[in-house]
């Protein structure tokens, strides 16, 4: 990457064209051409503006998070120069021990230490291809702060910054490409009067129109010349004189040599009668590549000036052809980026996995004009890929193993797949293709943290329906879907951890209170079971607190295995546990409680017993409240304790 790529006004292009909020492009897929670009040590001295802009993006996106805002953030470059950060963090920089900021080569780790009132966490940032450190992000937090960010959270935030940096880097390259195209167009406009005859080609940005215009010019100027265009790329044209350039065809040997050498070639073929026949091959050369060869056959030799004019026309046509290709590619790229941005925006509106999968399926059907779609998600408990959404009825509720068909191929290789004609060549068994009757397919894994957590399949009954461009676009989109799935999964896990007791895995008391309150506002009845381990202090004194904790885990597990999925078990406090049963009366709850009591007495090791108290409520009660229900259940538990323990008592007090 050359230095001048950082010098021209990229920011103006972003501002004028509205590209400042484009989404992050995947870094996991080596087949996507834009991801083959990366910075190298020669670029490090020139990326300070990108580092600063990316830091501003990062701060803007995270400023509303209180825990992040309470910390002092700063960024230093590869030379340990302060790049930017919170204004309040300036005084912290001199306190950093620079000697500790140079990690061993290729050893990715986090540097943490404490000094004074602050705890410092420094995370190195590496290039995505060669793993070379080009910056480091730091976080300083007060030791006395009870709500500090954990190291893993800081690492995730630094990864977020890295993705923002590469987003800026990638779209800087796109700006370079568009800038180069603009320069080529301006150069074409400054051509001399000598080229006025071919200026009719310069306003053509449609490749077919350009080719037709080129043939019209040559036919008008040289009607006696047989003229055809041999192209090296997969360009479809309705013009019969546009043919593919076959590098193995001996008949076109001169054209192949002209294409390979990048130089015009001419041959004179002597005829038995009359004048000689002239054959000319002129390469169609652009600034970046050779796109084809003009092949001319003339029954009479052409003048040298005619050959030179043909060469100039070929040069102009080559650049115009290249401009048209760049324009076409930029239009496709801009449209792809718009689609990615829109899909990412919709995905980020939800943190519910089912909603994300539904949005992904519908959007992909619309983008690729596919007939069928199936989204599979890996269930970590069953180790099976489950069909979570799609429009193939026979696949609803299905699941496949990690080694089955194309799902297994995606899981093993972590690479997308394009299939042009499954009907004629079913190389692997495919549940999706067989169920949908599709012949064409593109599929891509959903990735999170470098691991496959799902897959997406798109199909169509027409063979060779999906293009390589569709294939590349799906790779990018599924990367963003994978990130959305990972975010939703992380959100669910955080929410689960916030409502669960760390020791027993049961819900916390606060969660149980909220659920009972919700049930009492919507339903007509329910019961509460209070469970207390008898003589638990004696267990701790005899066996130790570690065994006491194991007893709590055993009892909690037995309670969980004895209740329904909709019932809610919670740790009330200490050795007291509680279970709420929606829409069940006290008599049925007593049967369940007896079963739990007997199971605990028979299966715990060391053996313990429990006492249980039951209280019920229904809509006819004068006073329906969480507090009243817990009070009556607690009184019933007290009665069970008072009556000798290891028994179940039902509250029979008058309900107010």
Read off the pLDDT of residues 335-353 as tens digits, 9 standing for 90 and up: 767 776 777 777 676 667 7
Q: What is the pLDDT of residue 595?
A: 94
- Among 99-108, 465-474, 529-538, the range scoring the smallest mean pLDDT is 99-108
Task: Give the number of other Cβ atoms within 10 Å of residue 498's Cβ.
Answer: 10
The better pLDDT of the pair 244, 12 is held by 244
Helix axes 151-189 and 304-347, enclosed angle (nearest 10): 150
Query: Residue 619 pLDDT > 80, yes or no?
Result: yes
Specify the pLDDT at position 601. Answer: 93
pLDDT of residue 555: 94
Q: Is the peptide bond before 606 cis (omega within 30 degrees of 0)?
A: yes
Section 351-380 average pLDDT: 83
CB-hemisphere CA count at 13 Å for 14? 15
Q: How far apart are CA 396 and CA 390, in angstroms?
A: 8
**Which of 68-82, 195-209, 395-409, 428-442 shows the lowest mean pLDDT across its residues?**
195-209
Instruction: Please say if the pLDDT value at position 200 is more than 80.
Output: no
What is the average pLDDT across 33-62? 86
Residue scoring higher pLDDT (333 or 23): 333
Q: What's the confidence (pLDDT) of residue 255? A: 83
pLDDT attached to residue 656: 57
Q: Scan for tokens 């179940």, then name that residue.
A: 648
Name the burial class of residue 514, with classes exposed (0-12), middle (13-18) and buried (19+) by CB atoms within 10 angstroms of its CB. Answer: middle
Report the C-alpha dihedral over residues 159, 164, 168, 169, rounded to 10 degrees: 10
Residue ranges of domains in the chain, CATH in brackets? 3-177 (3.30.450), 191-331 (3.30.450.40), 349-495 (3.30.450.40), 509-650 (3.30.70.270)
Distance CA 604, CA 430 (A): 48
Distance of alpha carbon 302 from its chain centroid, rounded? 59
On the question of pLDDT at 96 being above 70, the answer is: no
Give the span between the Cα atoms of 314 and 184, in whole angstroms. 16
pLDDT, residue 630, reads 92
pLDDT at 106 over 70: no
Mean pLDDT, the chain, as a whole number? Answer: 80
Lowest mean pLDDT among 46-60, 195-209, 216-230, 541-555: 195-209
* Best-predicted range by mean pLDDT (198-212, 357-371, 408-422): 408-422
pLDDT confidence tier of residue 477, bands split at 50, 70 and 90: confident
- CA atoms of 295 and 31, how far apart (whole Å): 35
Closest by CA to 399, choosing from 375, 417, 421, 420, is 375
Strands 648-650 and 610-618: parallel
State both tokens at 399: 């699941």
Question: Can you name the residues that pair with 485 across neighbouring β-strands?
Answer: none
Residue 15 confidence (pLDDT): 44
Q: For residue 35, name the pLDDT band (cuts at 50, 70, 90).
A: low
Q: What would the mean pLDDT of 396-412 be, rounded to a whole number?
A: 87
- pLDDT for 25 beyond 70: no
- Tens digit of pLDDT for each residue in 107-144? 567 888 888 788 888 899 999 888 889 999 988 888 87
User: Higher-confidence residue: 530 or 447?
Assistant: 530
If you average pLDDT over residues 27-39, what whole number do you get?
Answer: 64
């Amino acid at each position: 990457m050359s230095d001048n790529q950082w010098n021209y006004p990229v920011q103006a292009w972003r501002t004028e064209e509205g590209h400042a909020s484009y989404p992050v492009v995947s870094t996991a897929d080596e087949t996507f051409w834009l991801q083959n670009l990366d910075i190298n040590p020669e670029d490090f001295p020139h990326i300070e503006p990108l580092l600063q802009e990316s830091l501003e993006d990062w701060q803007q996106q995270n400023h509303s998070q209180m825990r992040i805002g309470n910390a002092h953030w700063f960024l230093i470059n590869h030379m340990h120069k302060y790049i930017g950060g919170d204004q309040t963090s300036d005084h912290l920089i001199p306190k950093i021990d620079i000697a500790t900021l140079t990690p061993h080569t290729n050893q990715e780790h986090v540097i943490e230490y404490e000094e004074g009132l602050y705890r410092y966490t420094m995370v190195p940032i590496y290039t995505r291809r060669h793993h070379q450190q080009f910056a480091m992000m730091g976080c300083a937090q007060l030791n006395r702060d009870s709500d500090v960010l954990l190291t893993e959270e800081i690492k995730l935030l630094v990864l977020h910054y890295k993705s923002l940096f590469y987003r800026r880097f990638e779209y800087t390259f796109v700006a370079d490409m568009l800038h180069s195209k603009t320069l080529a167009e301006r150069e074409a406009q400054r051509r001399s009067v000598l080229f006025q005859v071919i200026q009719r080609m310069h306003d053509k940005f449609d490749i077919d129109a350009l080719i037709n215009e080129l043939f019209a010019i040559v036919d008008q100027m040289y009607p006696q010349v047989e003229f055809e265009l041999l192209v090296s790329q997969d360009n479809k044209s309705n013009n019969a004189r546009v043919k593919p350039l076959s590098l193995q065809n001996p008949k076109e040997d001169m054209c192949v040599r002209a294409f390979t050498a990048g130089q015009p070639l001419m041959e004179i073929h002597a005829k038995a009668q009359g004048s000689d026949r002239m054959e000319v091959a002129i390469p169609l050369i652009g600034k970046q590549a050779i796109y084809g060869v003009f092949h001319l056959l003339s029954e009479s030799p052409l003048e040298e000036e005619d050959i030179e004019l043909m060469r100039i026309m070929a040069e102009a046509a080559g650049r115009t052809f290249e401009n048209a290709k760049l324009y076409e590619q930029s239009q496709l790229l801009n449209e792809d980026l718009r689609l990615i941005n829109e899909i990412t925006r919709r995905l980020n509106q939800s943190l519910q996995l089912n909603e994300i999968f539904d949005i992904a399926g519908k959007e992909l059907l619309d983008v690729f004009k596919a007939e069928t779609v199936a989204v599979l998600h890996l269930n970590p408990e069953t180790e099976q890929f489950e069909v979570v959404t799609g429009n193939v009825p026979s696949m609803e509720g299905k699941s496949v193993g990690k080694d089955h068909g194309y799902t297994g191929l995606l899981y093993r290789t972590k690479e997308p797949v394009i299939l042009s004609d499954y009907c004629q060549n079913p190389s692997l068994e495919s549940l999706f293709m067989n169920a949908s009757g599709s012949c064409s397919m593109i599929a891509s894994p959903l990735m999170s943290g470098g691991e496959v957590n799902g897959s997406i399949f798109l199909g169509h009954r027409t063979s060779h329906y999906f293009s390589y461009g569709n294939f590349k676009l799906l790779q990018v989109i599924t990367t963003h879907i994978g990130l959305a799935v990972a975010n939703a999964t992380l959100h669910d896990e955080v929410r689960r951890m916030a409502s669960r007791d760390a020791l027993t895995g049961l819900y916390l008391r606060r969660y149980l209170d909220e659920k009972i309150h919700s049930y009492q506002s919507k339903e007509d009845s329910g019961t509460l079971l209070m469970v207390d381990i008898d003589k638990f202090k004696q267990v701790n004194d005899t066996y130790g607190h570690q065994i006491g904790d194991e007893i709590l885990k055993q009892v909690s597990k037995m309670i969980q295995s004895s209740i329904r999925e909709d019932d809610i078990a919670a740790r009330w406090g200490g050795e007291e546990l509680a279970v709420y049963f929606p829409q069940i009366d006290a008599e049925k709850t007593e049967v369940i409680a007896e079963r739990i009591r007997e199971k605990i007495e028979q299966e715990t090791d060391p053996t313990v017993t429990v006492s249980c108290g039951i209280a019920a409520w229904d809509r006819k009660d004068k006073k329906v409240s969480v507090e009243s229900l817990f009070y009556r259940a607690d009184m019933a538990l007290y009665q069970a304790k008072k009556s000798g323990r290891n028994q179940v008592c039902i509250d029979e007090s008058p309900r107010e």
